[in-house]
Amino acid sequence: MQGDVFTLTRGDSPLLLSQPHVGLEIPTSIERRLTEKAKALPDTDWHINRLYRQMAEELNATVVTARFSRYVIDLNRDPGGESLYPGQSVTELCPTTLFDDSKLYLDGLEPDEEEIETRRGVFWQPYHDVLTEEIKRIKAAHGFVLLYDCHSIRSVLPRFFDGRLPTLNIGTGDGISMDPELAETVEKIAAASLYSHALNGRFKGGYITRHYGDPANNVQALQMELAQAEYMREEAPFTYLPEKAAALQPTLKKILETMLDYGRKRLAT
């Protein structure tokens, strides 16, 4: 199923993958106002849909994938513009800067409040409507939902963090979106892998994880922010690296499988 702003692939398991930052489309009315650097879409969560595609099929997951760039509107931000990380540098609901802090728009062509409100209704709301509907459907069918929010970012970004980012950045909103027992189990998988990791480090989970995660009501939510260097080239043209991706995928699949096992066991008790 394809909506105006998202693609929905519906599965029959309790697993729901959200992919809010993989979109590449930009309306012409917005694109013509962007800087040349921004038109290359460097801050995209490149190839996330490809990275997870096979395991999503094998686990019969439902996948919601954004079609439009995060430069149009950030689907993982509070619709009112409230900061996810107060006191730290962040990009806005409708970003005006790139991750390197350079300008996204040509001078004087940034969106005003009226345009932001329009984008919120046209692009942000439908994505969240479908997430809400799929969570409701999956919970009705299985009694629980496992929401896994798929993200990636360049491994070195001084604006947002010092040094090099760990490969596996697991976010549960400091414990509000997932049972601590499940989060600990996921962290153990990461610790036993070949990759560096952090739990609720620099990336604790964005709006989607924090808003929809409700473990007391059997909705477990986790954000996985991957360091892009482990599956792609971080410089243009942002090439996917199949061999590196293939090495990373078993760890990601094990995390998804573990979440499914936990959900089934928790419901049975």
pLDDT in tens, 248-269: 999 999 999 999 998 888 766 6
pTM: 0.95
Query: To which H or E segment does residue 138 belong?
Result: helix 125-142
Residue 253 backbone dihedrals phi, psi, to 5 degrees: -65, -40
pLDDT at 1: 46
Judged against a pLDDT cut of 90, whether residue 2 lies above it is answered with no
Q: Please name each of the domains of the chain with its CATH number.
A: 6-268 (3.40.630.40)
| Integer Cα distance of 139 and 96 in angstroms | 37
- Tokens representing residue 158 in the block: 């001084």
pLDDT at 134: 98
C-beta of residue 179 within 8 angstroms of C-beta of residue 215: yes
Judged against a pLDDT cut of 50, whether residue 181 lies above it is answered with yes
Maximum separation of any 2 CA atoms in the chain, in Å: 59
pLDDT at 3: 57
C-beta of residue 78 within 8 angstroms of C-beta of residue 93: yes
Query: To which H or E segment does residue 129 belong?
Result: helix 125-142
State mean pLDDT over 77-88.
80
C-beta of residue 21 within 8 angstroms of C-beta of residue 66: yes
Residue 200 backbone dihedrals phi, psi, to 5 degrees: 50, 45
CB atoms within 10 A of CB 118: 12
Secondary structure letter of residue 25 according to DSSP? B
**Tens digits of residue pLDDT in 196-247:** 999 999 899 999 999 999 999 999 999 999 999 999 999 999 999 999 999 9
**Tens digits of residue pLDDT in 107-157:** 999 999 999 999 999 999 999 999 999 999 999 999 999 999 999 999 999
